Amino acid sequence: MTQFPNNLSEAIRWLSSFGASADGGVTRTLYSSSWKEAQEALKEWMNNCGLETNYDSIGNLFGRLPAINSSVPSILVGSHVDTVVSGGKYDGAYGIVAAVTALEFLKREYGYPRVNLEVVSLCEEEGSRFPIACSGSGMITGVYSFKDLMGVVDSDGVSLFNAMADVGFGLSEHDNIKRNIQRFIEIHIEQGPSLEKLNKTIGIVQTIVGQKRFRISVRGESNHAGTTLMKWRRDPMQGAVEMIYTLQKMVGACDDHLVATVGQFFVEPNTPNVIPSQIVFTVDVRHPLETALNDFCKHFTSKFQEIAKDKDLDIVIEKWHEVPPVQMDRELNEWVEDICQSNEVSYYHMNSGAGHDAQLFAHICPATILFVPSQGGISHSPQEYTSTSDLETGLKVLIQLLKRLAY
Ligand code: HGY
Ligand code: MN
Ligand code: MN
């Protein structure tokens, strides 16, 4: 008999065992074997909690607590099951296990709701294997469609559709997995230091920042490291280094809300005594204001073009992810504030510097995301940690919000 978790901390530990990495972190990328095992185990747990489970064709997993009149659109509550490489135990996972625990409690205490309540374990949000992020929520909301997934391959050249088929899922262009959702609620770790620094337990998010992610390919001429004088070189490494240095200088001239990250860096042929033929690196830029985000991206990309031209290098700039900043739902946030006040739970109105699935759902329905503190503000790391009491407080607020909305 499978052993199911009895409490939140146990559930987090249990879920983190799927894709556990030697460094104490978790690596559970889209359509990997650990991803499939995690979804199957969650499905079993949801069934065991009395929820009606089903997958959609790309592997989003739903657990439904049906209403007496189940014809009205559902309230969806959940988060993403995938992680970054060597990520933490809580990012995404907490939102799923808290949602399952909340629905199990509501069913036991109050029976069937007035409105369908559905947990969702979203197949992918991070964009850490394939160059597409939020594909789970993007397909449910219709922000993405079949054509956005076509031709997508990972860094090993494996296509998204083949990886999807390898774990038993498949999408045809006639599949419509868009859902009509009444509201979307996500509970998530803050992944930053604000709540801990301010000694607050619940973050009520007003705005989720906009973000753009680019892949920059700089091509030059590979040659012998010893026989090629510097003045004869068309070295993409020199170009890429100047671009990244210039990017950092440009960020420094902006306000603190503008953040830019070079997270991936590939050298070809990546050999000590060979002048590289190509450098590929990523740039992730974020800001809570769409105009500031757009202006900065326009500025840095034209600067990169200039540097390439000046050094006689070829450059290809591909933007592969873009989400505008979105406002979370005011009414839902007022309810959360009221719940915190009546339960004497400390809270703080804030923005989210991390992107989240709630950002996609906000395009089709009222959506919000609640934060609990991250110890030391650390995330996307094996050191990610949130205390049991904060996890439990977040769950309590989530349960009361769902009770108000659906009973
Ligand atoms: O990168 C992000 O903002 C999120 O953690 N995927
Ligand atoms: Mn997340
Ligand atoms: Mn994340």
Q: What is the pLDDT averaged over residues 36-50?
A: 97
Reference 208, options 365, 352, 350; nearest CA is 352
Q: Which amino acid is at 16?
A: S
Q: Which ligand is nearest to the CA of 80?
A: 2
Residue reference for tokens 């739903």: 62
pLDDT for 2: 67
Q: Which two tokens stand for residue 249?
A: 């200088």
- Which atom of ligand 1 is nearest the CA belonging to 133? 6
**Is the omega angle on the peptide bond into residue 236 within 30 degrees of 0, that is, cis?**
no
pLDDT for 207: 96
Q: What is the pLDDT averaged over residues 361-365?
A: 97
Which residue out of 126, 207, 360 has the highest number of ligand 1 atoms within 8 Å of its CB and is therefore the one to mutate? 126
- Which atom of ligand 1 is nearest the CA belonging to 353? 3
Q: How far is the CA of 117 from the centre of ligand 3 (A)?
A: 25
Q: How far is the CA of 125 from the centre of ligand 2 (A)?
A: 7
Q: Which two tokens stand for residue 393?
A: 């407080």
Q: How far is the CA of 170 from the centre of ligand 3 (A)?
A: 25
Q: How far is the CA of 113 from the centre of ligand 3 (A)?
A: 31
pLDDT for 176: 84
Residue 40 has pLDDT above 70, yes or no: yes
Q: Which two tokens stand for residue 202?
A: 């619940």
Q: Hey, CA dihedral for 338, 340, 344, 348, is it positive or negative?
A: negative
- Which atom of ligand 1 is nearest the CA belonging to 126? 6
Q: What is the pLDDT averaged over residues 131-153?
A: 96
Neighbours of ion ligand 2 (CB under 5 A): 91-92
Q: Which amino acid is at 191?
A: Q
Q: What is the pLDDT averaged over residues 156-175?
A: 94
Residue reference for tokens 């060597």: 86
Residue 29 CB-half CA count within 13 A: 15
Q: Which ligand is nearest to the CA of 79?
A: 2
Query: CA dihedral in degrees (120, 79, 108, 204; nearest 10)?
Result: -140
- Which atom of ligand 1 is nearest the CA belonging to 125? 6
Reference 262, options 279, 246, 285; nearest CA is 285
Residue 1 has pLDDT above 60, yes or no: no
**Percent of the chain surpassing pLDDT 90:** 95
Q: 3-state DSSP: the chain helix, strand, coil percent, rounded to 5?
A: 35, 25, 40
Report CA-CA distances (Å) from 256 to 253, 260, 288, 292, 371. 9, 11, 11, 12, 21
Q: What is the pLDDT averaged over residues 362-374?
A: 98
Residue 131 CB-half CA count within 13 A: 23
Pocket of ligand 1 from Cβ distances under 6 Å: 125-126, 354-355
Which residue out of 80, 84, 128, 186 has the highest number of ligand 1 atoms within 8 Å of its CB and is therefore the one to mutate? 84
Q: For residue range 206-255, list pLDDT tens digits in order.
A: 999 999 999 999 999 999 999 999 999 999 999 999 999 999 999 999 99
d(CA 314, CA 308) in angstroms, rounded, equals: 6
d(CA 105, CA 115) in angstroms, rounded, equals: 16
Q: How far is the CA of 402 from the centre of ligand 1 (A)?
A: 25
Residue reference for tokens 């904060």: 390
d(CA 126, CA 144) in angstroms, rounded, equals: 15
d(CA 82, CA 19) in angstroms, rounded, equals: 10
Q: For residue range 319-362, list pLDDT tens digits in order.
A: 999 999 999 999 999 999 999 999 999 999 999 999 999 999 99
Q: How far is the CA of 356 from the centre of ligand 2 (A)?
A: 6
Q: How far is the CA of 190 from the centre of ligand 3 (A)?
A: 10
Q: Which ligand is nearest to the CA of 133?
A: 1
Residue 261 has pLDDT above 90, yes or no: yes
Q: For residue range 49-85, list pLDDT tens digits in order.
A: 999 999 999 999 999 999 987 788 999 999 999 999 9
- Which atom of ligand 1 is nearest the CA belonging to 211? 3
Q: For residue range 81-132, list pLDDT tens digits in order.
A: 999 999 999 999 999 999 999 999 999 999 999 999 999 999 999 999 999 9
Reported as a pLDDT band with limits 50, 70 and 90, residue 174 is confident
Reference 266, options 284, 246, 240, 285; nearest CA is 240
Backbone angles phi, psi at 129, to 5 degrees: -110, -50
Backbone angles phi, psi at 12, to 5 degrees: -65, -45
Q: Which ligand is nearest to the CA of 355?
A: 1
In angstroms, how far is the first alpha carbon of the chain from the final one?
33
Kindly write down the DSSP assignment for every residue of 296-358, as one continuous string.
HHHHHHHHHHHHHHHTT-EEEEEEEEEE--EEPPHHHHHHHHHHHHHTT--EEEEEESS--TH
